[in-house]
């Protein structure tokens, strides 16, 4: 018999049983499930670590949940979680640990990678970040001409951008308001031009965030920023006062001209999309201060502990991960909508897109074999009520099944009149409408004309999770992010894929590097691409006034 960890999902005994279960459950309506079990809405909930999770509005029976839990066991999830927390090199294709949990492990604990305890160096960097943030926040950190910093610009892309932007927006309420935070990621010059449009270089601090310090977009923006600063300040010594770097690549940082003391390090065992709580979070720390930043790390850690120690049947990321597998692999749902009813979380869906899709968008197993089933779904979403007036139509009445994650907070950070009651009424109402819909009979009883009945019926039976948290604090944000990290992990283990590599981003990068010089020279040798790409290149060359031969 194959060892658990080598067994494909489709080879598990529970998989076959789940297939049978699906045949029955897919015929059931949530209305039936609720009317047959008056306690369902209370029973199918978990409250732990400050998160209330209601999964009663999912198209599952108790048997489904039992079988999904069995699938987790058969897939070796326990061992895989232990392996991650022990710092084993679970990122097989890059031969690296995936140890983001170490970034929020309290001082004094030990996690050993390559024979060394990494926790002291994590805290050493955190202390340096705290010291630097305090200096910037207090105005003690001066620019080259002696002015305090008023603007902090993070330059980075992917994990070196999405985390910082999302966290800044999420925690803006707690941010120091006399500091301006901006984020530049796109190679499109507009991103840079608009970010610096009204700023004075003398009062601007750039944080160059790049794990590799070679990413084309980031380095191009970083060099443009350098020119912008030097154009005004005219002295290379100014760089030390206006640029800091966050990277794993000391040599490249030096080459750029940033002093080693202005570099904040992280390590190859931190994946880009898992790096928000490494030094990549420096802009967040400057915004909210080191104490609140540490509170955010404590929130992450609480969710880590929950994931590590709670039995699977009460384990929120495990249950959410399994429900994701249920819809992805049995109902064949292609997407998941993440719908935060909290304006400050407006960038959370975009952040989750990288976390989930770069992690689990894989077509081969860790052993390099084609997976015989679907892997990661497409994540998308928007803050709640705005979505209601745009794409919710499709979720309610379209032909596609879109499982939804609703995220709501009991307390508003900005209580204004009735706003919060209405916001919460909306999120509860949406989950209710999706689950139970409106029958023909109900529509008729409302006096809807017969010809409109088909248009006005809501079939319901559309599943959703409800996550309830107290209010959006740094700690709560940490919990929420860690929750999704562990959902992704759970699913990756079940699908038997490497959730920590991202080879799929390489080819486009290589081809762009090949095409870029073909826009430059006056004369080009014969273009060697396909006829479409060749024509596109010629067209662009013409628009630049260059010869379009080749
Ligand atoms: O191209 C994808 C990617 O490698 C992401 O995984 C990463 O977060 C991003 O690029 C940025 O990489 P870096 O931090 O090395 O600049």
* Mean pLDDT along residues 8-17: 96
Is the pLDDT score of 2 beyond 60? no
Nearest CA to ligand 1 atom 5: 158
Q: For 58-113, what is each residue's pLDDT tens digit?
A: 999 999 999 999 999 999 999 999 999 999 999 999 999 999 999 999 999 999 99
Q: Please tell me the total number of residues recorded for the chain in this structure.
A: 550
Phi and psi (nearest 5°) for 525?
-75, 170
Residues contacting residue 438 through CB under 8 Å, at least 6 positions apart: 456, 457, 458, 460
Atom of ligand 1 nearest to the CA of 160: 14
Measure 316 CA to ligand 1 centroid, in angstroms.
Answer: 29
The residues annotated with a catalytic role in the active site are 358, 389, 509
- Using DSSP, state whether 320 is helix, strand or coil: helix
In this prediction, residue 337 carries a pLDDT of 98
* Per-residue pLDDT at 523 exceeds 80: no
Strand pairing report for 378-380 and 404-409: unpaired
Dihedrals phi, psi of 148, to nearest 5 degrees: -70, 160
Residues with beta carbon inside 6 Å of ligand 1?
157-160, 210-212, 215, 218, 272-273, 358, 502, 505
The closest alpha carbon to 158, from 508, 476, 487, belongs to 508
**What pLDDT, on the 0 to 100 scale, is given for residue 5?**
57
Residue 86 contacts residue 98 (beta carbons within 8 Å):
no
* pLDDT at residue 55 is higher than 90: yes
**Phi, psi for 413 (deg, rounded to 5):** -80, -20
Q: Best mutation site among 94, 156, 159 for ligand 1, i.e. most ligand atoms within 8 A of its Cβ?
A: 159
Ligand 1 center–CA 276 separation, angstroms = 12
- The model scores a pTM over 0.85: yes
Dihedral of the CA atoms 328, 88, 308, 295 (nearest 10)? -100
b vs e for 373-393, b when ≥16 Cβ sit within 10 Å of the residue's Cβ?
eebbbebbbbbbbebbeebbe
Closest ligand 1 atom to 212 CA: 15
CA of 217 to the centre of ligand 1 (A): 10
Res 521 pLDDT > 90: no
- The model's pLDDT over 337-380, given as tens digits with 9 standing for 90+, comes to 999 999 999 999 999 999 999 999 999 999 999 999 999 999 99
Which numbered atom of ligand 1 lies nearest the CA of 358?
Answer: 6
Where does the pLDDT of residue 189 fall: very low under 50, low under 70, confident under 90, or very high at 90 and above?
Answer: very high
Q: Which of 156, 209, 211, 214 to mutate to test the pocket of ligand 1 (most atoms within 8 A of CB)?
A: 211
Average pLDDT on 216-234 reads 97
The CA-based dihedral angle spanning residues 70, 76, 78, 79, taken in that order and rounded to the nearest 10 degrees? 170
Pocket test for ligand 1, best of 502, 503, 508 (most atoms within 8 A of CB): 502
Atom of ligand 1 nearest to the CA of 157: 11
Give percent above pLDDT 70 in the chain: 99
- CA 158–ligand 1 middle distance (angstroms): 5
**Confidence check: pLDDT of 4 > 60:** no
The side-by-side arrangement of strands in the sheet containing 378-380 is 45-48, 51-54, 464-469, 404-409, 335-341, 378-380
pLDDT at 1 over 70: no
Mean pLDDT to the nearest integer, 467-488: 98
Q: What share of the chain is helix, strand, coil (3-state, %, to 5)?
A: 55, 10, 35
532 secondary structure, DSSP code: H
| CA dist 440 → 57, 103, 114, 344, 469 (Å) | 21, 54, 64, 39, 36
Quick one: pLDDT band at residue 3, thresholds 50, 70, 90? low
Band of the pLDDT at 525, cuts 50, 70, 90?
Answer: confident
The ligand 1 atom nearest the CA atom of 217: 16
Q: Say if CB 433 and CB 492 are below 8 A apart.
A: no
Residue closest via CA to ligand 1's atom 6 equals 272
Confidence of residue 526 (pLDDT cuts 50, 70, 90): confident
User: What's the gap in Å between 403 CA and the centre of ligand 1?
Assistant: 29
Q: Is the pLDDT of residue 147 over 60?
A: yes
Check pLDDT > 90 for residue 547: no
| pLDDT per residue as tens digits for the range 485-496 | 999 999 999 999
Nearest CA to ligand 1 atom 9: 158
Instruction: With residue 133 as reference, give the H or E element that holds it.
Output: helix 119-138
Distance between Cα 409 and ligand 1 center (Å)? 32
């Amino acid at each position: 018999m194959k060892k658990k960890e080598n067994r494909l999902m489709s080879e598990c005994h529970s998989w076959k049983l789940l297939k049978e279960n699906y045949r029955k459950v897919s015929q059931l309506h949530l209305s039936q499930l609720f009317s047959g079990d008056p306690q369902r809405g209370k029973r199918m909930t978990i409250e732990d670590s400050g998160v209330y999770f209601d999964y009663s509005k999912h198209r599952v029976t108790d048997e489904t949940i039992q079988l999904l839990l069995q699938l987790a066991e058969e897939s070796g999830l326990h061992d895989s979680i232990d392996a991650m927390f022990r710092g084993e090199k679970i990122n097989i294709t890059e031969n690296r640990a995936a140890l983001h949990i170490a970034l929020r492990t309290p001082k004094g604990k030990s996690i050993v990678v390559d024979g060394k305890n990494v926790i002291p160096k994590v805290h050493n960097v955190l202390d340096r970040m705290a010291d630097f943030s305090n200096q910037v926040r207090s105005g003690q950190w001066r620019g080259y001409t002696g002015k305090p910093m008023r603007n902090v610009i993070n330059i980075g892309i992917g994990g070196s951008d999405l985390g910082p932007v999302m966290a800044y927006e999420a925690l803006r309420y707690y941010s120091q308001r006399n500091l301006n935070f901006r984020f530049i990621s796109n190679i499109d010059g507009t991103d840079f031009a608009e970010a610096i449009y009204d700023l004075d270089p003398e009062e601007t601090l750039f944080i160059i965030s790049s794990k590799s310090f070679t990413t084309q977009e980031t380095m191009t923006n970083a060099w443009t920023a350098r020119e912008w600063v030097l154009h005004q300040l005219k002295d290379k010594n100014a760089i030390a006062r206006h640029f800091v770097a966050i990277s794993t690549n000391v040599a490249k940082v030096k080459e750029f001209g940033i002093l080693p003391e202005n570099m904040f390090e992280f390590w190859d065992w931190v994946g880009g999309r898992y790096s928000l709580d490494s030094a990549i979070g420096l802009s967040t720390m400057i915004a909210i201060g080191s104490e609140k930043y540490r509170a955010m790390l404590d929130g992450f850690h609480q969710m880590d502990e929950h994931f590590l120690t709670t039995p699977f049947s009460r384990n929120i990321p495990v249950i959410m991960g399994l429900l994701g597998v249920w819809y992805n692999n049995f109902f064949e749902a292609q997407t998941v909508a993440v719908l935060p009813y909290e304006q400050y979380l407006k960038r959370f869906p975009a952040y989750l897109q990288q976390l989930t899709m770069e992690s689990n968008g894989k077509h081969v197993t860790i052993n390099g074999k084609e997976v015989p089933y679907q892997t990661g779904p497409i994540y998308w979403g928007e803050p709640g009520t705005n979505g209601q007036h745009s794409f919710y139509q499709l979720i309610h009445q379209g032909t596609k099944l879109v499982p939804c994650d609703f995220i709501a907070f009991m307390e508003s950070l900005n209580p204004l009149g009735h706003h919060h009651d209405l916001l919460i009424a909306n999120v509860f109402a949406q989950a209710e409408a999706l689950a139970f819909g409106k029958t023909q009979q109900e529509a008729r009883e409302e006096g809807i004309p017969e010809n409109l009945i088909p248009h006005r019926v809501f079939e319901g039976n559309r599943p959703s999770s409800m996550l309830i948290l107290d209010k959006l604090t740094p700690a709560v944000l940490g919990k929420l992010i860690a929750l999704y990290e562990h959902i992704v992990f759970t699913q990756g283990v079940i699908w038997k894929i490497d959730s920590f590599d991202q080879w799929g981003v390489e080819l486009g990068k290589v081809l762009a590097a090949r095409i870029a010089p073909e826009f430059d020279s006056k004369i080009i040798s014969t273009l060697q691409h396909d006829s479409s790409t060749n024509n596109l290149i010629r067209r662009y060359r013409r628009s630049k006034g260059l010869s379009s031969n080749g």
